[in-house]
C-alpha cells in the first residue's frame, strides 16, 4: 500500500509546510497559495498560534510553518512557546492583523522569517512562501560534495512537441529559482534552440568539440560555454546545415562527463534520433523527460520509446510529459486513450498556452521567466522544483508514474487545472506482437 505521506512534497525528509489560521477566508487563501506551489493543502489547519503549539508538541514540525497570530494579544510572548515545541531549522512565517512596525521588527528579531498583514493578499503569501522555500533549498556553505547532482534529459517523442521549450524552462528555473549551477546542453547542433530561446549567441564551442573530441577537457569546456546568467551556462551550436555532423557520439559523451563534474544540474536537450543512434548518451542521465502531444503518433512513439528505454537504458527514470493539452474535446487523442496506449499514466500534463510561449519568444526568455504566473509557467516551476529536490535519489524503472513514490500526475492536474480528459475513442495499442 502506498504511504500517503510519500506522495507529498518534502524537504529533507520533513513535511514541507503546515499552517494554522484563525478564520475561513484566510484558510482558503493559504490553501490556494499552497495549491499554486504544489504544497499539500490538507496541512492548513484551523486555529492559530495556540493550536499550533498544542499540535506541534506532539507531532513533528514542517520545514515551513505559517502561523496566524490573531488569536493572541501577546504575540511576542506566545511565540516563545512555539519555539519550544518546534524542531530546529523550522522556518516560521507569521500573519496577523496588528499593523505595527515595532511588532514586525520584534518578530523578525525573534527569528520569524516574515510577517504578513491581514487581510492576506495572494501575491504576498506566494512571494513570502516561495522566498522561504528558496532559502531552504539553497545550498548551504560547507555542503560541498553533498550537493546532489541532477542530470535531466529531455527528448521529444516526435518533432515540434515542445521538448526544447520545456528543457529551456527547466534549465533556467534550476539556475534562477533553485539557485543551482546549471548547464543547459543542447545536443541538436544543427537546429538547436537553447541559445535562440534565451536570446544568446551559441558560439562555436560545441562545433569545435564535435570536430576534435581529443581537445575536450575542463579548460576547453570553460571556453565553449556561453553564460546565460550567474548560475546558467549554455552549450550549443548553430552548425551550418550544409555541414554534416560527423560523430560517433564520443564528443557529446565527453562533454556530458565534464558538465557533470562542473555543475550541480545538467539539462540535456536530446534529439530523438541521436539518442536512438547513441544510447550510451543516456549513461549520464538520471531522469529522462519524454515529451509528447496528445496525438496518435505521439502515443505510439511514447510507448515504443518507453519499451526501448527498458532494454537500452534501464537505469533511466522516464517521466512522460503530455504537453499542449487542451480541453478533452479539442485533442486528437484523449488523455485516457493516450494512457491506455502507453500502458501507464502520464506523469505531467502541461496546457497549450499560445499566449505564454509568444511572450517568451518575444522577450527571449524561458516560459518560467516570461510567464511565471501562467498555468504553464507555474507547472514548469513546480516540475523543476520537484526534479531539483529529487536529485540523487535512487529511481526504479517500473514503468509507472508511482515509481518514484509521488503521484506527479495528480499533482499537475491540480496545478494546471486540466482534469483527466474523458475520451471515448477506441483504444490504440502499440504493444509489439
Ligand atoms: N505548452 C505549449 N503551448 C503552446 N505552444 C507550445 C507549448 N509548448 C511548446 N509550444 C510551441 O511549440 C513549438 C515547438 O516547440 P519546441 O521547439 O520546444 O519543440 P521541440 O519538440 O523541441 O521541436 P523540435 O522537434 O524541432 O526540436 C514552438 O513554437 C513552441 O513555442
Ligand atoms: Mg527542440
Q: What is the 3-state secondary structure (H, E, C) of the chain?
A: CCCHHHHCCEECCEECEEEEECCHHHHHHHHHHHHHCCCCHHHEEECCHHHHHHHHCCCCCCCEEEEECCCCCCHHHHHHHHHHHCCCCCEEEEEECCCCHHHHHHHHHCCCCEEEECCCCHHHHHHHHHHHHHHHHCCCCCCHHHCCCEEEEEEECCCCCCHHHHHHHHHHHHHHCCCCCEEEEECCCCCCCHHHHCCCCCCCHHHHHHHCHHHCCHHHHHHHCEECCCCEEEECCCCCCCCCCCCCCHHHHHHHHHHHHHCCEEEEECCHHHHHHCHHHHHHCCEEEEEECCCHHHHHHHHHHHHHHHHHCCCCEEEEEEEEECCHHHCCCCHHHHHHHHCCCCCEEEECCHHHHHHHHHHCCCHHHHCCCCHHHHHHHHHHHHHHHHCCCCCCCCCCCCCCCCCHHHHHHHHHCCCCCCCCCCCCCCCCC
Whether the CB of 353 sits within 6 Å of ligand 1: yes
- Look up the CATH number of domain 15-137: 3.40.50.2300
Residues of the chain with pLDDT under 50: 1-12, 140-143, 392-407, 418-433
pLDDT of residue 145: 53
Candidate CATH numbers 3.30.1540.10, 3.40.50.300, 3.30.70.890, 3.60.15.10; the one for domain 150-432:
3.40.50.300
Whether the CB of 362 sits within 6 Å of ligand 1: no
pLDDT of residue 222: 83
pLDDT of residue 131: 82
Domain boundaries, the chain: 15-137, 150-432
pLDDT of residue 143: 47
Whether this model's pTM surpasses 0.75: no
Whether the CB of 161 sits within 6 Å of ligand 1: yes
- Taking the CA of 380 as reference, the closest ligand is 1
Whether the CB of 186 sits within 6 Å of ligand 1: no
Give the residue, by CA position, lying nearest to ligand 1 atom 25.
159
pLDDT of residue 414: 56
pLDDT of residue 160: 97
Whether the CB of 159 sits within 6 Å of ligand 1: yes
Whether the CB of 19 sits within 6 Å of ligand 1: no
- Centre of ligand 1 from the C-alpha of residue 244, in Å: 24
- Centre of ligand 1 from the C-alpha of residue 166, in Å: 8
pLDDT of residue 408: 55
- Centre of ligand 1 from the C-alpha of residue 352, in Å: 10
Whether the CB of 354 sits within 6 Å of ligand 1: yes
Q: Do domains 15-137 and 150-432 have the same CATH topology?
A: yes
- Taking the CA of 360 as reference, the closest ligand is 1
Report which of 28, 418, 364 is spatially closest to residue 200, judged by C-alpha positions: 364
Mutate to test the pocket of ligand 1, among 165, 187, 366 (most ligand atoms within 8 A of CB): 165
pLDDT of residue 419: 43
- Taking the CA of 323 as reference, the closest ligand is 1
The overall average pLDDT reported for the chain is: 84
Whether the CB of 162 sits within 6 Å of ligand 1: yes
Query: Within 10 Å of residue 13's Cβ, how many Cβ atoms?
Result: 7
Amino acid at each position: 500500500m502506498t504511504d500517503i505521506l510519500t506522495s507529498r512534497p518534502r524537504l529533507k525528509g520533513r513535511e514541507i509546510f503546515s499552517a494554522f489560521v484563525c478564520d475561513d477566508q484566510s484558510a482558503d487563501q493559504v490553501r490556494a497559495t499552497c495549491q499554486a506551489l504544489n504544497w499539500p493543502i490538507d496541512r492548513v489547519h484551523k486555529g492559530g498560534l495556540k493550536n499550533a503549539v498544542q499540535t506541534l508538541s506532539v507531532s513533528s514540525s514542517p520545514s515551513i510553518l505559517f502561523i496566524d497570530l490573531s488569536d493572541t494579544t501577546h504575540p511576542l510572548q506566545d511565540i516563545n512557546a512555539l519555539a519550544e515545541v518546534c524542531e530546529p531549522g523550522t522556518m516560521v512565517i507569521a500573519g496577523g492583523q496588528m499593523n505595527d512596525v515595532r511588532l514586525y521588527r520584534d518578530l523578525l528579531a525573534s527569528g520569524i522569517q516574515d510577517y504578513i498583514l491581514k487581510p492576506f493578499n495572494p501575491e504576498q503569501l506566494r512571494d513570502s512562501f516561495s522566498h522561504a522555500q528558496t532559502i531552504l533549498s539553497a545550498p548551504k556553505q560547507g555542503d560541498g560534495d553533498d550537493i546532489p547532482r541532477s542530470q535531466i534529459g529531455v527528448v521529444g517523442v516526435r518533432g515540434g512537441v515542445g521538448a526544447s521549450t520545456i528543457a529551456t524552462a527547466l534549465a533556467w528555473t534550476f539556475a534562477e529559482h533553485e539557485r543551482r549551477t546549471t548547464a543547459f546542453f543542447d545536443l541538436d547542433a544543427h537546429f538547436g534552440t537553447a541559445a535562440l530561446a534565451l536570446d544568446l549567441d551559441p558560439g562555436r564551442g560545441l562545433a569545435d568539440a564535435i570536430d576534435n573530441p581529443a581537445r575536450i577537457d575542463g579548460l576547453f569546456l570553460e571556453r565553449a560555454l556561453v553564460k546565460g546568467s550567474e548560475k546558467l551556462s549554455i552549450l550549443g551550436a548553430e552548425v551550418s546545415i550544409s555541414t554534416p555532423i560527423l560523430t560517433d557520439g564520443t564528443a557529446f559523451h565527453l562533454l556530458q562527463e565534464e558538465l557533470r563534474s562542473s555543475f550541480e544540474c545538467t539539462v540535456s536537450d536530446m534529439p530523438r534520433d541521436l539518442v536512438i543512434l547513441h544510447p550510451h548518451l543516456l549513461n549520464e542521465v538520471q531522469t529522462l523527460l519524454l515529451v509528447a502531444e496528445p496525438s496518435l503518433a505521439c502515443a505510439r512513439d511514447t510507448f515504443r520509446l518507453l519499451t526501448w528505454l527498458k532494454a537500452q537504458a534501464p537505469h533511466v527514470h522516464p517521466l512522460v510529459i503530455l504537453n499542449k493539452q487542451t480541453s478533452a474535446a479539442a485533442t486528437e487523442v484523449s488523455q485516457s486513450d493516450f494512457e491506455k496506449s502507453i500502458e501507464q499514466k502520464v506523469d505531467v500534463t502541461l496546457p497549450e498556452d499560445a499566449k505564454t510561449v509568444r511572450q517568451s519568444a518575444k522577450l527571449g526568455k524561458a516560459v518560467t521567466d516570461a510567464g511565471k504566473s501562467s498555468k504553464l509557467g507555474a507547472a514548469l516551476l513546480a516540475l523543476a522544483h520537484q526534479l531539483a529536490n529529487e536529485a540523487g535519489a535512487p529511481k526504479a524503472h517500473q514503468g509507472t508514474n508511482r515509481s518514484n513514490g509521488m503521484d506527479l500526475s495528480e499533482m499537475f492536474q491540480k496545478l494546471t487545472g486540466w482534469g483527466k480528459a474523458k475520451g471515448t475513442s477506441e483504444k490504440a495499442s502499440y504493444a509489439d506482437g
